[in-house]
Chain A
Amino acid sequence: MSTPDAGLLVALVGNPNTGKSTLFNALTGLRQRVGNYPGVTVARKSGTCDLGDGQKVELVDLPGLYSLAAASPDEQVVIDALSGNIAGDRTPDAVVLVADATNLLRNLFLASQVAELGRPVVLVLNQADVAKEQGLRIDADLLSRRLGGVPVVLTSAWKGEGILEVRRAIARSLAQRATMKRVVWPADISAALADVAAAATADTGKTVTAADAQRLLFDTAPTTADRLGWTSAQRDKTLRSARDRVRNSGYNPMAAEPLVHYAQLRVALEGVVTEGSGKASRTAAVDRLLLHRLLGPLLFLGIMLGFFASVFWLAKFPMGWIQSGVDWTKTVIAPPLDAYPMLQSLLADGIVGGVGAFLVFLPQILILFLFIGILEDSGYMARAAFIMDRLFSWCGLNGKSFVPMLSGFACAIPSLLSTRTIEDPKARLATAFVVPFMSCSARFPIYALMCAAFIGPLYGPGWESVVMVAMHCVGLVFAVPTAFVLTRLILKVKPQPFVLELPRYQMPKPRDVLWRMWQNAAEFVSKAGTVIFAISIIVWALSYFPRDAAVAERIKAAHPTASAEVVKAKVQAAYIEQSYMGRFGKAVQPVFDPCGFDWKITVGVLASFPAREVIVSTLGVTYSVGEGAEADSQHLRQAMQDAKWSEGPRAGRPIFSLAAVLALMVFFALCSQCGPTIATLAQETGGWKWAAGSFLYMTTLAWLAATAVYQVVSRIG
């Protein structure tokens, strides 16, 4: 990655749905870096942009937003980034404002607010092709003159038109430093702003810019005051009297800012846009179908089922290949190490096995991101939120919670990342908290094993599928009340306004969608992968050591006639039993006794905390059927069906009674047994507090539910 020559920084700002990211990709040609802004979970996307004359600048793509009023973390980041208030980041040398050419007035409101920051500005009117189709003619030169001579460029980033002009305009802006014409405040508002600035400067001793004063006066959120450290009692008094002054001049202080901006922008736009005859928008026609009161929800269900099914079924093939690749790697690296059994076991079982179990889910994650990208870029995601909103609003979530919750049935990790589409931070937190309850695909193997081994043979295949479906619903049943309690009682979310633009439908640009899928997946693998790697080694070590050779000798001596295969399996089981993990399992077993788990299941449960799918292979080891046990393994089923309690009040009775089988499945449905999920949750909620809370809550809930199931079913059954 080449460093930009002069170290110049240019920021890209605009409303959502203006094609800003497409323009960003076109300008940087995918030479991008993704990082995080300090302290918040807002991604900092930047890239190197060639200005056409060999000069290179760093271009940073700021989150899309409608207004600078700081309500969400995204908005705060944009304000801070533009004013140079982010630690370790420079103040942008120029700002590229991206506006939707078909809706100039609204888009220029943000531009006009940004102008108040006094940075050099380039105005890009994107989607000019759509404007032309609609019969809109835009006089860019006139607009440029009206806005104080800033460069105004018409582009169609999707088609790659006007990109070179944008590069040249940025170069011109950096050289000439033309700033956009600022709004003229009515005398009383101007005086109120001066009062606020003077009082804040006097109290804090810091420079208070005109833009700071506007945020202090017009915003209800105290973010700007907090940043300046203006917390004195004087603050409230000053703001109250300044707002009274605005009110007395005939403006509602909370509405004065947009009213003044919009009024002056209307004048500036006079004669700039002329409407001719154009094609009627296809969006309205498509919406008549997709948002139809009866057909809409049905089509929505169809799209979501297709989405869900493809995440499962399309991913099956590459998952199979990865699994074979992992198995093949094991067979390749194991034999040369026969002389070093410990190293062999560490590499094959610990590292390749552990990391492989995680890599297997990568195809699902890629497909999930691909679909989410298509849904977002096409404009359908907003419609899905519109259709679903009522179902979620009562428990404090909103329509945008739906997709993360649905995709949680495949894997919680990409779902947690997809909660980034939810702007309201509390709704986002609540959604992230309930996503791990969704029955992810890693729970499938244990359901499959239990149903095939016990439910099917005892009650027939009909009950098998009923139990299967029921298990997939258990998490959802607990998730909704959890969200309700969390948002209403703990986070105390006041009913949040949920205003959502339903943008024009658009064909997603393959490059943008694939690029974002790749970026998200790479971030996920690098972050979750390291955690998984570490945990795999720890679990391996706990179940490998101590490894006294006498144990193996004793088993061999006790079974002189048994085949080598059987002896090997028995040795494995004996080692597990006396390993730290086995000892710990026996010590902890009393805790799980009320759920009907014996020490072997307990070992499986404990070993599954880093990754729940480990349970099947661990049961395979503890019930001594050899390694590589699969859910359909006949041996494992037989061994489990034969397993009996050897001591205590239940001695002689089968361990896997109906009660214990159901309790075990319910436990796995609810328990927080996924290291990467916990790590991702911590990353996405900005700390370990919520991750730890989620772990304790889900695990406690799982134990209570499993105990309840076991106690009730064992009494009536």
Chain B
Amino acid sequence: MALGLLPGMVLKLVRKAPLGDPLAIEFGGQVVSLRLAEAENLIVDVSADCPIQRPRQP
């Protein structure tokens, strides 16, 4: 969250690493690498024009 990944943000999966993990995710004008284990904590709504995600807290 310090990197600014906040509820209601639009995420874009830019690419996966060669072995499928981690993922490169773009949000708020930056690209960040997240392991699958961390990405699992994100709730992502993939409905067409209103993508919403909310971080679930550990």
Contact = CB atoms under 8 A, between A and B. Distances in A.
B13 interface: no
A390 B19 contact: yes
B30 A103 contact: yes
Interface centre among B6, B17, B21, B58 (most CB of A within 10 A): B17
Given A106-B4, A255-B55, A389-B21, A501 B35 contact: no
B51 interface: no
Contacts of B10: none
A293 B16 contact: yes
Contact of A103 (B6, B21, B29, B33): B29
Interface string B10-24: 000011111111101
A645 interface: no
Contacts of A385: 33
Contacts of B14: 284, 287
B57 to A, nearest CB: 5
B17 A66 contact: no
Nearest to A388: B17
Contacts of A391: 19
Nearest to A106: B4
B4 to A, nearest CB: 4
A240 to B, nearest CB: 16
Interface centre among B7, B31, B32, B38 (most CB of A within 10 A): B31
A88 to B, nearest CB: 29
Nearest to A253: B57
Nearest to A68: B2
Nearest to A390: B19
Given A255-B55, A386-B22, A390-B22, A499 B17 contact: no
Contacts of A293: 15-16, 18
A229 B27 CA distance: 40
Given A293-B18, A391-B19, A105 B33 contact: no
A287 B32 CA distance: 13
B38 A497 contact: yes
B48 interface: no
Contacts of B50: none
Given A255-B57, A293-B16, A386-B17, A393 B35 contact: yes
A106 B30 contact: yes
A109 B28 CA distance: 13
Given A103-B28, A293-B16, A499 B1 contact: no
Interface string A362-388: 000000000000000000001001110
B28 to A, nearest CB: 6
Contacts of A102: 29
Nearest to B32: A501
B57 A259 contact: no
Contacts of A607: none
A294 B18 CA distance: 7
Contacts of B16: 293
B28 A106 contact: yes
A479 B24 CA distance: 29
A254 B28 contact: no
A291 B37 CA distance: 21
Interface centre among A287, A291, A391 (most CB of B within 10 A): A291
A417 interface: no
B18 to A, nearest CB: 5
A254 B41 CA distance: 14
Contacts of B32: 499-502
B3 A499 contact: yes
Contact of A105 (B4, B7, B34, B57): B4
Given A382-B33, A389-B17, A252 B4 contact: no
Contact of B4 (A262, A283, A495): A262
B56 to A, nearest CB: 9
Contact of B37 (A259, A262, A495, A502): A495
A347 B5 CA distance: 62
B33 A109 contact: no
A297 interface: yes
A254 B7 CA distance: 14
B2 A109 contact: yes
B17 A105 contact: no
10 contacts: A103-B29, A105-B4, A105-B28, A106-B28, A258-B4, A283-B31, A390-B18, A390-B22, A497-B37, A500-B32
Closest 6 CB pairs of A and B: A67-B2, A390-B19, A106-B4, A66-B2, A500-B33, A502-B31
Interface of B: 1-4, 6-7, 14-22, 24, 28-35, 37-38, 55, 57-58
Given A386-B24, A389-B17, 20 more contacts: A66-B2, A69-B2, A102-B29, A110-B2, A259-B6, A262-B4, A262-B6, A283-B31, A287-B14, A293-B15, A293-B16, A293-B18, A387-B18, A389-B33, A389-B35, A390-B20, A499-B3, A500-B33, A501-B33, A502-B24
